[in-house]
């Protein structure tokens, strides 16, 4: 492990410290592994950084291709998984099943 600890990727705090194999931010509580580069940053419709396991809400009615079903605005999606490609979020929506979403049509739920 290097002598300098990088700032927190969530809140950019410089007070991060090492705890076993993890780096921990005392200000926001975020934990991450040193040197773990996740690839490109994926952001929601308002610019919030998304991560695996986040909860998001749909900000626009989305018609499901090949069906007459619609995912309504305000639908909460828990436990997203970020992937490469045009539809950069994999998730399961209750009543619909597994689906790929574009990050530009979701907003991260905070709190």
pLDDT band, residue 2 (cuts 50/70/90): very low
Q: Stretch 13-29: mean pLDDT, rounded?
A: 87
pLDDT tens digits for range 6-20: 888 888 888 888 888
Which pLDDT score, from 0 to 100, does residue 53 have? 92
Q: What is the 3-state secondary structure (H, E, C) of the chain?
A: CCCCCCCCCCCCCCCCEEECCEEECCCCCCEEECCCCCCCCCECCCCCECCCCCCEEECCCEECCCCCCEECCCCEECCCEECCCCCCEEEEECCCEEEEECHHHEEECCC
* Mean of per-residue pLDDT scores for the chain: 87
pLDDT tens digits for range 33-67: 876 555 668 999 999 999 999 999 999 999 998 88
């Amino acid at each position: 492990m290097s002598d300098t600890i990088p700032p927190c990727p969530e809140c950019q705090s410089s007070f991060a410290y090492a705890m076993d194999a993890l780096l921990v931010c005392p200000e926001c509580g975020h934990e991450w592994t040193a040197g773990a580069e996740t690839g490109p940053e994926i952001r929601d419709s308002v610019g919030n950084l998304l991560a695996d396991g986040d909860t998001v809400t749909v900000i626009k009615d989305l018609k499901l291709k090949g069906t007459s079903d619609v995912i309504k605005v305000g639908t909460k999606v828990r436990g997203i998984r970020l992937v490469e490609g045009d539809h950069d979020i994999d998730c399961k929506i209750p009543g619909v099943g597994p689906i790929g979403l574009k990050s530009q049509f979701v907003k991260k739920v905070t709190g």
